[in-house]
Amino acid sequence: MKKEIRSIYYIRIFAMLMVVFVHVTAPYTHLFQPFTIQHEVYHYFNNIVRIEAGLFIMLVGIVFFYNYRDREWTGKVLFDYFRKRVVYILVPFVIWSIIYEMDVIHYGHKLFDLGGIVENILTGGSKYQLHFIMLVVQLYLVFPVLMYIVQTSAFLRKYLWAFGVVIELVYYMWNWKYQVVTGPFFVSNLSAFLLGAWIGLHYEEIKAKVTGKKTAVLGVLFLTAGTIYVSIRYQNAFTDTRVAIPEELYKSMGIFFIVIGGLFFLYLCEQFVTRFKVRTTDRIKAIASYSFGFYLMHPYLITQVNIYFPIKTFGLSWHVMIALQYALVVIICYFVIWWFHRFIPGASFMFGKLPKQAPLFWEAGKTAETEK
């Protein structure tokens, strides 16, 4: 039986906290004037943590290719694979799409329109983060085919991450020129997915090469690439003078940012697993099991927190209110999912696959015998 990749729990926490941060801090665009220090700082952090999308997709690649790399694709395995995707991904997605549709109707932002609701559910348009789920669903659909192809070629397995980079770049330039695909399409994130696939296929070999020095180098590369990429985005978004850079180079910089960032967080989290106590990782695992629920639910909580703790009229500085909103959304989200997990049968239909037990995170791992 394969050992679990415990570093993925830390990566999930990072991605989970980052996606909440992106959406809580989004009001900076109208709270502060462009080219003020506040606007520039919020823009920098709001954009550099957008590595979270790449991390989520990389995790899908790691988990799938690691778990299925030695398995034969029998009819039973294939059926079980798709059954779990339907139960733990599509069903929660549909439920939360309906919740968001009913929410906007409740607040009078739009009238009931069954056709429009169905269309939004099919396209992931019920809330701003749900389109990402449709992209992930496409990856679920093509994974068995990709796994079969990878199993037939040692050369492809060895350089899988590079194939992802090249294919994504070629697709982007082709679609940028001809504008054929307008909705979410999995090839637009193939570099992160195949990076994860490459890690899953060669995990033991990669893990053995992780060192503190390599982690630090990757961290510097990630921050350097991210700073340059985000700075160009700021210049192009808020000034009339765009940075004179070829489109293919700008896209390549974005891909490099995602790939090097994914490797950095993998190395960093492998260091965490090595250096932290076993029980600490068990606690992280308990929180990370709610990451999909966080992704589905946090926009709803942001709306509710904004109602009771509005940024502009609460009497505190905008910075304090943004920090307060972030803390409230993260804390409330955790306890709501935990409560459903602990007391409501079938909570996995709302929040994705959940463990059998539902301890509060600080209680997790109490029975662990091997503390470091």
Least confident of 106-115, 139-148, 256-265, 274-283: 106-115
CA 244 to the chain's CA centroid: 31
Measured CA distances, 154 to 159, 163, 166, 207, 264 (Å): 9, 13, 18, 20, 25
- pLDDT at position 169 over 90: yes
Q: What element of type H or E holds 320?
A: helix 318-343
> How does pLDDT run across 47-94, given as a tens digit for each residue?
999 999 999 999 999 999 999 998 888 899 999 999 999 999 999 999
Predicted confidence at residue 62, as pLDDT, reads 97
Q: How many residues does the chain have?
A: 372
Is residue 298 exposed (0-12), middle (13-18) or buried (19+ Cβ within 10 Å)?
buried
Q: Which two tokens stand for residue 247?
A: 């489109």
pLDDT 10s digits, 119-161 = 989 888 889 889 899 899 999 999 999 999 998 899 999 999 9
With vertex at residue 240, the alpha carbon angle to CA 235 and CA 242, rounded to the nearest 5 degrees, is 50
Phi-psi region of 315 (alpha: psi -120 to 50; beta: other; left: phi over 0): left
pLDDT at 164: 97
Over 60: is that where the pLDDT of 356 sits?
A: yes
Give CA–CA dist 124/243, Å, rounded.
33
Per residue in 209-229, pLDDT tens?
A: 999 999 999 999 999 999 999
Residues 6+ apart with CB under 8 A from 210: 267, 270, 271
- Residue-wise pLDDT for 188-198, tens only, equals 999 999 999 99
If pLDDT is split at 50, 70 and 90, which confidence band does 240 have?
Answer: confident
Q: Residue range 328-338: average pLDDT?
A: 97
pTM of this prediction exceeds 0.85:
yes
Say if residue 367's pLDDT is above 60: no
